[in-house]
Structure 1
């Protein structure tokens, strides 16, 4: 049975490997003489443990850096952008009417980065920073454009998007190398979160960690608690999307991190094939991102651990592994907004829940979170 699964999974990996992936060419700034009506721009600020390809360059490799590097990228979002998708620019025809297009970029140092991300948005609202930590098998360009898509689909202009990128090998065979790279990046993410926490101009921080980036996010929060650098916790809302975390390890992480307010939210799917493969690699040890919220033990653990576990299997996934449902943030938007702005009926207390999307399209708002 296991050998059959490995064979099927290997075939899926080969199919995934055949798909073309974006490279540094998508970072080249394009001249747009006239912005298409309805197009908008998103500026993503980057803090990364990746090495620059060369000094004063915003092309980042999969090699680790000894220190954090900083940059900003402004991306134009096409007028008819479909929520949850990235309309990648084509090498021969970059069209702002139909594609994400790079329109500006800047090399930043530490001071200019924090000055930019703590700047108040239009309207004088308090600064709200959204940090995204990508997962396994992700290159820099994929992570950058994913953060732009997340922000475009879920934000009203009040949140400043920040990408924390660690040096993933961007290879389906690089799981162990990626785990080492994520581990080596803990200090970088800890530094970013601690600095945002101590910055009086930053009022709120939303942290979204996906897959192995969820593990890295939980480890960084654990490290902050152990080192007693706790300023970030009063500003923090945490979402772990399909986290690739061993269940026993997660319990140990939570025992150090402690209860958060609002509770940490974990987005799960039982049919996540990427996490099924991770479970096999881990000797059949369960992964948090594939929990069954109907299991009474999971419901009890959610209450004891003071976390909110939400099954998002009702959302479509843009990949064959059912691992990227979190990208449908337009459907998740009601639970991504600050707790004080929650629509009636959307609890932010601990427990296990199923996401019930009412409506025929992915763009339909979430009307209900039903406890199972």
Structure 2
């Protein structure tokens, strides 16, 4: 059963070409992207940062060298673990990552900077999770076309801007971080599903409480595959402790419904942030022969609303929020805008309700976001 009844949207050949060219130009704006040198530890000297975020990472990427926190695009059989203390510059602007300009060293006064780091193992990670028993840890699963440092610093930005209290953990899979590598990235994401399922199981049982999961784009595909794996392994107790939010998930709608048929209704409904004007997902749809992507569903559609209620999930259209770039794929980066709009007394629905909702940025018709259930999903 699909979320839509009209079948796949078929674009004309000329429109397909136009969309691909436009999106390629938009997405390639990340030219000059940061290299692994940005992960080098920076001495602070006399400078005292006002904010330092402690982040943990679990990755199916291989290490460039044993004992070093530099990660490649190669897959590893056993996950690698690390921790990073990232200082946030006093000039930080919400939704932005302040990278050093090309040819310039990292300066903690103006740039995100790693000020200390450690190589960890599984036991050390779980010990860190146990230490923070007052707040649910947050696992961030990045999307397509990300290198390791980009995903790590994106988590630092989300943590800083949202003020979430839980321990932030990055799950990084071996994306090639290249626009033409969409198919290869999909394979790498799928390769990593067992590792993500194991991580979520470990964290739930280590903490003996809830774990929040925030996934973006292709990371949504990986996350749902991990949820399906947990159900097939009979780990319903783990699923009952997970609170999942997906932003712009890059999943074919028919595949998604098949996944949900296995996963079943979760104790806390999966929340999906969608935008029909998402240009990156338009390209993904073209690569999938015109198939509808879940992150671009129309929440106004009666079929979508009915399916959301039937499967026990929450779909929220956030397209009324101002986009931070021309792809309309990254609205969730600006968590301050999202939180300011969603956390309003005038809300008529909460993200814990199953169904489809359209966020009216002016009227504030739904409540709460990336604080990732820190308040919202806890209402259930």
TM over 0.5: yes
Tell me, in whole angstroms, the C-alpha distance in 1 between the residues paired with 2:54 and 2:136: 14
Q: Is the 1:211–1:244 contact (alpha carbons within 8 Å) kept by the matching residues of 2?
A: yes
Tell me, in whole angstroms, the C-alpha distance in 2 between the residues paired with 1:249 and 1:313: 24
Using the TM superposition, give the Cα deviation of residue 11 of structure 1 relative to its aligned residue in structure 2, in angstroms.
Answer: 5.1
Deviations 1:84-111 (A, max 9, x none): 1111133415332322111111110111
Mapping of residues 226-237 of structure 1, within 5 Å: 226-237=232-243
Deviations 1:12-37 (A, max 9, x none): 42564362101101101111123456
Say which SS state the counterpart of residue 150 (structure 1) adopts: helix
Candidates 49, 53, 64, aligned match of 2:64? 53
**Structure 2: runs of 5 or more not aligned:** 1-11, 368-380
Question: Are 2:155 and 1:147 equivalent residues in the alignment?
Answer: yes
Tell me, in whole angstroms, the C-alpha distance in 1 between the residues paired with 2:37 and 2:298: 41
Q: Is the 1:75–1:103 contact (alpha carbons within 8 Å) kept by the matching residues of 2?
A: yes
Question: Are 2:140 and 1:132 equivalent residues in the alignment?
Answer: yes
Q: Is the 1:315–1:328 contact (alpha carbons within 8 Å) kept by the matching residues of 2?
A: no
Candidates 218, 224, 227, aligned match of 1:221? 227
Count of residues paired in the alignment:
353
Deviations 1:329-354 (A, max 9, x none): 223347999xxxx9974422111112
Q: Where does residue 169 of structure 2 map in the other structure?
A: 162
CA distance 1:313–1:226, shift in 2 (3 Å): same
Q: Where does residue 363 of structure 1 map in the other structure?
A: none
Candidates 15, 20, 34, aligned match of 2:46? 34
Q: Where does residue 9 of structure 1 map in the other structure?
A: 20
Tell me, in whole angstroms, the C-alpha distance in 2 between the residues paired with 1:292 and 1:315: 15
**Structure 1: runs of 5 or more not aligned:** 359-365
Q: Is the 1:36–1:79 contact (alpha carbons within 8 Å) kept by the matching residues of 2?
A: no
Q: Is the 2:342–2:366 contact (alpha carbons within 8 Å) kept by the matching residues of 1?
A: no
Tell me, in whole angstroms, the C-alpha distance in 2 between the residues paired with 1:336 and 1:186: 31
Tell me, in whole angstroms, the C-alpha distance in 1 between the residues paired with 2:228 and 2:338: 26
Q: Where does residue 215 of structure 2 map in the other structure?
A: 209
Using the TM superposition, give the Cα deviation of residue 182 of structure 1 relative to its aligned residue in structure 2, in angstroms.
Answer: 0.8
Tell me, in whole angstroms, the C-alpha distance in 2 between the residues paired with 1:253 and 1:4: 31
Q: Is the 1:36–1:97 contact (alpha carbons within 8 Å) kept by the matching residues of 2?
A: no
Higher strand proportion (structure 1 or 2): 1
Using the TM superposition, give the Cα deviation of residue 328 of structure 1 relative to its aligned residue in structure 2, in angstroms.
Answer: 1.6
Larger RCO, structures 1/2 (Cα 8 Å, 6+ apart): 2
Q: Where does residue 108 of structure 2 map in the other structure?
A: 96
Q: Is the 1:29–1:102 contact (alpha carbons within 8 Å) kept by the matching residues of 2?
A: yes
Q: Is the 1:118–1:127 contact (alpha carbons within 8 Å) kept by the matching residues of 2?
A: no
Tell me, in whole angstroms, the C-alpha distance in 2 between the residues paired with 1:25 and 1:35: 21
Q: Where does residue 361 of structure 1 map in the other structure?
A: none
Say which SS state the counterpart of residue 275 (structure 1) adopts: helix
Using the TM superposition, give the Cα deviation of residue 4 of structure 1 relative to its aligned residue in structure 2, in angstroms.
Answer: 4.1
Candidates 277, 284, 303, aligned match of 2:283? 277
Q: Is the 2:346–2:365 contact (alpha carbons within 8 Å) kept by the matching residues of 1?
A: no
Tell me, in whole angstroms, the C-alpha distance in 2 between the residues paired with 1:79 and 1:259: 44
Alignment root-mean-square deviation, CA? 2.3
Tell me, in whole angstroms, the C-alpha distance in 1 between the residues paired with 2:228 and 2:346: 31
Tell me, in whole angstroms, the C-alpha distance in 2 between the residues paired with 1:274 and 1:114: 35
